[in-house]
Each structure stands twice: as C-alpha cells, then as structure tokens.
Amino acid sequence: MTHTGKLASMAEAARAVPDGASLTFSGFGHSGHPMAFVRELVRQGRGGFTLHAVAECWPAEFLTGAGRVRRINLSNLMFEGLGRCRAISRAVETGAVAVDDHSHLALWMRLSAAGWDVPFLPLRSMAGTDLARIQSGAQPKYAQVESPFGDGPVGVVSPLQPDVAVIHVNKADDQGNGVVYGAISVIDAQVRSAKTVIVTAERIVPADEIVADNQLVAVPGILVDAVVHAPFGSHPGAMYREYDEDVEHMAQYYAASRDERTLAAYFDDYVLGTADHDAYLARFGARRLFGLIVDPALQVARRGEGA
C-alpha cells in the first residue's frame, strides 16, 4: 500500500505494537485519549502490556478490562465524576495486574529522564511516603543519594522508557507534526521518551496549516513513526474544541464495568463486535455524534441539534 508521508491505517499502526510492549497514552481525565487506537489493539488480540499511565484512565481501564495488561506504573487512575476504575481495581485486588504507584510529578520525571537520556532526576515530594517505600518493579523507581552540592540527601527517580507512545491530537500533517489545543498534560515527556510514537488525529491537514499554528505543535513530526486519521478518536471522551464527552455512553460503560460478565458483554458489543473505528462510530449514528460537536463560535456542543 502506498502512503503519503507517515500516514497509515489504524489496523496497520496497531500491528506495529507487539505483545508485551510497554505503552503510554495521551489524555487526562475524560479528554484527549486515543481510544480508537485502544479499541483496535483489543480487536487485534494484542496484550501482555505494561502501562506507564499518568492519569490516562480510559486507556488503562479499557485494556485492563479486556485482560490485556500485566503491569501498570501509575499515578492516580480514576473516573472523575463517576468513581474508581472498577476493572483496574478488580485486577489489582486479585493479583492479575501488578502496580507501582507514583505521584504525577514522579512519573512525569521518570519519562522526562528517559527523554533527556539522563540516569535519574531529583525530586523531594515522595520522600518519607509509601510511594517511595513500596517498589515492586524490576527496576527501582526511587532512591536517595547525597547531593553533590552539600545539601544532604535528596530523592531521585529512575528513567522510564515506553516502547510505544500513542498520542491523540486535534490535527496533524502527513509527517506527524501534531497540534493540540488546550492542556497537553505530559505529551512532551511521552513522545521524547518512547522508542516508537504513533499519532492519531481528528483531522489530517496540509503542512502549511500546521506551520500557521506552529506555536501549538505539541508533537514534532521528527519523533513520529506513524500518523492515523481518527475522527472522534477520543470517544466516548472529549477532545477540546472538537466535541464534548458522550456522558450517556460513559455512564453505560461504567455500569457495565460493575462485574466481569457485563463488562465482557460490553466489549463483545462495542469493540469485538465492530470491525473497525468506522463501524464503531456507525453504532452511534451521525445525529448522536453531531450533537457532541463543539460550535466554534459558542464553544459549546450542539446537543439540541443532534438530539
């Protein structure tokens, strides 16, 4: 298949993720997650993953609920406004998934250390807490060393290099230069630390449009390996300036996650039961999706028009 630049189909990009890989995903809270890519990983049967999850609750919950995760290096995974991530909680309680807990700052610094190719970075915030004391990974995450400047002991964290970072953006060109509107969370550390970077984009646009918005480029194309067109790629979550959360479907998933039987039925229906991202979107229909789109003038969703 001939492509322009680094453009690839969703299936092709997902096939580049091997079983057992360590992954990190964009997004925070209910926004900006590459959920279309996550669903494709599940369809393809990929698993045995280690996640480096800086509050990207939806990818971590989905992959864990589908039985595809063996370990999570995490910092606070929860569904804001809904409650705890039930699939993750069950997996941890039963020992199916191992976890190593961090502060947000510590996990960002571990990714940053890998991106900057330094052996450690110093921080004070976890000293004296169970976050520093309890370490279950093969590589220690935290230690204390004497400051070379005579200030006494200081905490340090080790580098953390994901095999693959998957980042969802508002728009990208065919080389992977990606623009993100609003908060970018820890995207910079994720893309600089990962061995492979895959971008999914709401829109694929000409390079001139990216140049015109160059101050908002959160993902430099030089670090990107593949670019995938994925409109509504964060659904059922939101994408700032594109569409709001699908609150109704989020609640449907959360109700299904209450036990393994209903969660399996959800995956059979909405993930394994849909051939690809287009088929997934077709389950909701154009009117439903149109009702989530944010009006560029009002900056609110056209919910009344899509009802």
**pLDDT at residue 306 above 80?**
no
User: What's the mean per-residue pLDDT of the chain?
Assistant: 92
Task: Give the residue-averaged pLDDT of 41-58.
Answer: 95
- pLDDT at position 214, please? 92
Sign of the torsion formed by the C-alpha atoms of 62, 38, 105 and 131: positive
**pLDDT at residue 3 above 90?**
no
Spatial separation of the C-alpha atoms in residues 239 and 262, rounded to whole Å: 27
- pLDDT at position 307, please? 41
Please give the radius of gyration of the chain, using alpha carbons only, rounded to the nearest integer.
19
Contact 175, 5 (CB under 8 A): yes
- pLDDT at position 1, please? 36
- pLDDT at position 2, please? 44
Task: Give the residue-averaged pLDDT of 269-283.
Answer: 97
Note the pLDDT tens digit of each residue in 134-143. Answer: 887 778 899 9
- pLDDT at position 138, please? 75
In which residue are the tokens 């009002």 written?
A: 298
Tokens in use for 299?
């900056």
Neighbouring residues of 240: CB distance < 8 A, sequence distance ≥ 6: 31, 32, 170, 181, 182, 183
* Domain range 10-103+161-306, its CATH number among 3.40.30.10, 3.40.47.10, 3.40.1080.10, 3.40.50.300: 3.40.1080.10
Task: Give the residue-averaged pLDDT of 178-185.
Answer: 92
Spatial separation of the C-alpha atoms in residues 144 and 122, rounded to whole Å: 9
Note the pLDDT tens digit of each residue in 79-133. Answer: 888 888 999 999 999 999 999 999 999 999 999 999 999 999 999 888 888 888 8
Pick 150 or 274 by higher pLDDT. Answer: 274
- pLDDT at position 302, please? 55
DSSP assignment letter at 299? -
State the DSSP H helix or E strand holding residue 98, giving kind and residue range, or none if neither. strand 98-101
Spatial separation of the C-alpha atoms in residues 298 and 26, rounded to whole Å: 26
**pLDDT at residue 252 above 80?**
yes
Phi (first) and psi of residue 251, to 5 degrees: -65, -35
- pLDDT at position 297, please? 55
* Nearest in space to 254 (alpha carbons), one of 30, 24, 54: 30
* Nearest in space to 62 (alpha carbons), one of 198, 266, 239: 266
Q: How many CB atoms lie within 10 A of CB 231?
A: 18
Residue type, 122: P
Phi (first) and psi of residue 33, to 5 degrees: -85, 145
Pick 5 or 243 by higher pLDDT. Answer: 243
Spatial separation of the C-alpha atoms in residues 106 and 116, rounded to whole Å: 15
Q: At how many degrees (to 10) do helices 86-94 and 57-65 cross?
A: 60
Residue type, 117: D
In which residue are the tokens 């669903």 written?
A: 39
pLDDT level of residue 247 (50, 70, 90 thresholds): very high
Spatial separation of the C-alpha atoms in residues 61 and 55, rounded to whole Å: 11
- pLDDT at position 211, please? 96
Spatial separation of the C-alpha atoms in residues 14 and 34, rounded to whole Å: 12
In which residue are the tokens 């510590």 written?
A: 106
- pLDDT at position 182, please? 87
**pLDDT at residue 157 above 50?**
yes
Contact 89, 60 (CB under 8 A): no
Percentage of the chain modeled with pLDDT above 90: 81
